[in-house]
Each structure stands twice: as structure tokens, then as C-alpha cells.
């Protein structure tokens, strides 16, 4: 084969994880005889109908994903569990390879899971790092439809909110658009969205406690600043009461430097007129009644005209 043609073929395959389609080979000018010689020599291997792999290209999850997209052709997108992996959702399945194609091509199959749909508009598709995939919002809705465990669906929602890839409002609106017969999981997603807005599972649990107790819903992830300087981003703000609540995980901040930063942050928030409280993982998950009781006290304005020492307020 002409050396220049072989170089073009290699470069094209290199941009696709060592893969190339029959149509791409023909576009480059590779004849049937030349293709047969390349296969016979072991330089190319048929990996899927009309898709070849270059010998020596390393196996990887990205290569398997690219193989599926090339085999399924235009209109195919990475979806469901595989899209959750590409969006880096918490608790995603590490080795998922899954796609969605237009309903007219539902007959196409391969060594991966393929879904079909009649409704995948541009708003539900994105391209990142070369892979077309369902948007974070559509991926979450599809995962709900696939009946994944609630703890993983919660993690997907919170991950998308944390990274800015979606929001509770966007999810609610898109879910309303897609709701209908056969769209299993919509009700469960409705329920989980009631307690969304935080960035972690622990923050979600705190929001659930506030809703269960009938207490006001706080605003999650509020940035406090002083002039042009950011003082802190807080987990929750109860604006009308001037109350900031932080929830801390199992490990917390153990070093002297961490504790010093926490103290400085708390002091600056108090200087801004905020009352700052913190609940631990053990309190939120193991003693929810304590959290509810103390928050009810902290969010309820005192009605007595007397101070704690018994003297009347002036």
C-alpha cells in the first residue's frame, strides 16, 4: 500500500482510539484488495460490522465506547449508565457501555446495551471529549426510568447540581416535558427533587429533615462576601432568620490548620450578622429528632418579652 495512504489511515484511526470504519477507509481511497491485504497481514481486525481496529491499539473503556458509536452510526449517543460515567456522577457504574439510537435503528445491536427512542431533541444531547452523550438532565431522567436504586439516583442529581450540569428547576421542567405513558420513574424523581439542591447526600438528608418537620426550606450553597472578597460558601442559609447551617461528614476537619480556617470562617460569618450552627453526620443520620428540635428552636423567634436572665427587654 502507498506509504502516504497508510499514514493517513493511521492518523484517522489514532483520533478514534485505534478504530476506523469501512466508510472512512473508502473515503481515504483504500480499495477492497488493499483492505483484504491489511486484514490478512494482521494490520487491521474486524471488531464490529463495518468497523476495524488497528493492531496494537490498547484496549480501554474509551475504545469500547468509540467502537459502539462507530458501529451504531449517526444519531447514536452514549446514554444511561455510560453517560452517568462520562458525566462523573457519584456512585456511577465504572465499566458501563450503553447507547441510545433513533427508534428507526433499534434493530442495531452489538456487545453493549442499546436503547431506542423517538424523542431525543438537541436539548437532550451534548458532546464532550469527542463523545456525543445525553445531557446530565436527560441522563438522570433515563436513570430514573431504568429503576436504579434511589441512593444512586440521589447521588446523580446531587452531582449534577454540584457541577452546574443541571439544577432542580431544569430537571423539573424537562421531566414535565417528557412525562407520559411508559415514562416509569417520573413519580420517584418528583419525590427526590423535593429534597435536592444540596451538593452531597448528607445535605440531602438535612433538607429531608426540614421538610419532614414542616420547617422553612433553606437556600443551599449561598456565597457570602465582603466587598469583592468571598468569605464563605455555606451549605444552607435560612435568610429570614439570619441562620447559617453547615453539615459535616464523618471525617470532618482534623488538622490544626483546618480548625483554624473553620474558626476564622465562622467568625467572619458572624461579623456579617449570621448565626452559624453545625450538625455532624452522626447527628443528621443517627439523631434526626435532635436536629429537628434544635432547628425549630433556632428558627422560631422568641415570643417572651423577657431575656434569659429574667429581666425585661428594653
Q: Look up the CATH number of the domain holding residue 256.
A: 3.40.960.10
pLDDT at 62: 94
**Residue 267 and residue 216 share a domain:** yes
Read off the pLDDT band of 312 (50, 70, 90). very low
**Residue 209 and residue 183 share a domain:** no
Look at residue 221 and tell me whether its pLDDT is greater than 70.
yes
Angle, vertex CA 169, rays to CA 163 and CA 175, nearest 5 = 105
Look at residue 301 and tell me whether its pLDDT is greater than 70.
no
Q: Note down the domain range covering 16.
A: 3-58
**14-18, 102-106, 162-166, 288-292: range with lowest mean pLDDT:** 102-106
Mean pLDDT value across residues 215-235: 87
Rg from Cα positions in the chain: 27
Residue 300 vs residue 18, higher pLDDT: 18
Question: How many independent structural domains does the chain possess?
Answer: 3
Residue 91 resides in a domain = yes
H/E stretch holding 29 reads none
Read off the pLDDT band of 129 (50, 70, 90). confident
Residue 209 vs residue 263, higher pLDDT: 209
What is the sign of the dihedral through the CA atoms of 77, 78, 84 and 87? negative
**Residue 295 and residue 223 share a domain:** yes
**Residue 152 and residue 233 share a domain:** no
pLDDT at 252: 52
Residue 207 resides in a domain = yes
* 66 in Cβ contact with 13 (< 8 Å): no
pLDDT at 68: 95
Residue 307 resides in a domain = no
pLDDT at 306: 43
Q: How many alpha carbons fall within 13 Å on the CB side of residue 201? A: 14
pLDDT at 19: 97
Amino acid at each position: 500500500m502507498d506509504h502516504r495512504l497508510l499514514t493517513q489511515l493511521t492518523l484517522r484511526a489514532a483520533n478514534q482510539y485505534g478504530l476506523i470504519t469501512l466508510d472512512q477507509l473508502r473515503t481515504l481511497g483504500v480499495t477492497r484488495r488493499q483492505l483484504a491485504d491489511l486484514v490478512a497481514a494482521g494490520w487491521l481486525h474486524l471488531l464490529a460490522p463495518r468497523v476495524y481496529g488497528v493492531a496494537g491499539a490498547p484496549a480501554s473503556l474509551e475504545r469500547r465506547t468509540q467502537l459502539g458509536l462507530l458501529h451504531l452510526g449517526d444519531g447514536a449517543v452514549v446514554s444511561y449508565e455510560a453517560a452517568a460515567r462520562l458525566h462523573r456522577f457519584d456512585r456511577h457504574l465504572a465499566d458501563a457501555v450503553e447507547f441510545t439510537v433513533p427508534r428507526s435503528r433499534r434493530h442495531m445491536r452489538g456487545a453493549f446495551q442499546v436503547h431506542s427512542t423517538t424523542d431525543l431533541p438537541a436539548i437532550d444531547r451534548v458532546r464532550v471529549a469527542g463523545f456525543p452523550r445525553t445531557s446530565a438532565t436527560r441522563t438522570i431522567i433515563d436513570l430514573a426510568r431504568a429503576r436504579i436504586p434511589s441512593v444512586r439516583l440521589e447521588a446523580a442529581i446531587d452531582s449534577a447540581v454540584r457541577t452546574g450540569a443541571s439544577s432542580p428547576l431544569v430537571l423539573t421542567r424537562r421531566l414535565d416535558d417528557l412525562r407520559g405513558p411508559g415514562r416509569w420513574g417520573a413519580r420517584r424523581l418528583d419525590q427526590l427533587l423535593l429534597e435536592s439542591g444540596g451538593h452531597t447526600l448528607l445535605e440531602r438528608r438535612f433538607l429531608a429533615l426540614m421538610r419532614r418537620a414542616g420547617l422553612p426550606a433553606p437556600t443551599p450553597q449561598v456565597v457570602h462576601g465582603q466587598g469583592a472578597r468571598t468569605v464563605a460558601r455555606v451549605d444552607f442559609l435560612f435568610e429570614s432568620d439570619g441562620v447559617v447551617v453547615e453539615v459535616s461528614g464523618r471525617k470532618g476537619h482534623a488538622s490544626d490548620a483546618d480548625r483554624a480556617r473553620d474558626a476564622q470562617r465562622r467568625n467572619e460569618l458572624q461579623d456579617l450578622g449570621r448565626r452559624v450552627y453545625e450538625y455532624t453526620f452522626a447527628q443528621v443520620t443517627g439523631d434526626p429528632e435532635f436536629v429537628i428540635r434544635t432547628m425549630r428552636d433556632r428558627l422560631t423567634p422568641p415570643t417572651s418579652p423577657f431575656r434569659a436572665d429574667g429581666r425585661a427587654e428594653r
